[in-house]
Amino acid sequence: MWALVFKCTLGALVVLLISILSKSKAFYIAGLVPLFPTFALIAHVIVFQQQGADALRRTALFGLWSLIPYAIYLIAVYLLATQMSVLSCLSLATLAWTIAAGILLYGWYLWA
């Protein structure tokens, strides 16, 4: 139970930090905060404890490949941000991420 409370607290702290940074002169740093491996650290510890070092290596490799859907999301946001409303921009970027992530998962399933 305490582990769940700890994870929720970490998530809330990350959201708070993003909110504070987005109001500062260095607002762009708010885009870096979600990339801090807070949740990856938690996931990696859990995977290692439950599956071992080989599974941790495969998880890290999949994490590298998962940067592709995120890059597609960011490219879509960059290209669409001045072309449409923020809701439309982020919705289309999220759709692009979803499609790319689906392709990644399908490819990983076939390859692994």
> Does residue 98 come out as left (phi exceeding 0), alpha (psi in the -120 to 50 range) or beta?
alpha
Q: Does residue 57 sit in the same domain as residue 93?
A: yes
- Looking at the domain assignment, is residue 44 inside a domain? no
Q: 104 is in which domain, residue-wise?
A: 52-112
Q: Flag whether 105 is in a domain.
A: yes
Instruction: Please count the structural domains in the chain.
Output: 2
Question: Does any domain span residue 42?
Answer: no
Tell me the per-residue pLDDT of 21-80, one tens digit each, with 9 for 90 and over.
Answer: 999 998 999 988 888 887 899 899 999 999 999 999 999 999 999 999 999 999 999 999
Residue 25 lies in a domain: yes
Q: What pLDDT score does 14 carry?
A: 86
pLDDT given at position 112: 76
pLDDT at 88: 98
* Structural domain includes residue 24: yes
- Biggest CA-to-CA distance, the chain: 47
**Shared domain check, 56 and 32:** no
The C-alpha atoms of residue 105 and residue 112 are separated, in whole angstroms, by: 10
Domain-located, residue 46: no
Same domain, 31 and 56: no
Alpha helices per DSSP H over the chain: 2-22, 38-51, 53-65, 67-80, 86-111
Number of neighbours of residue 1 by Cβ within 10 angstroms: 5
Q: Are residues 61 and 106 in the same domain?
A: yes
Spatial distance between the Cα atoms of 11 and 24, rounded to a whole number of angstroms: 20
In this structure, is residue 82 part of a structural domain?
yes
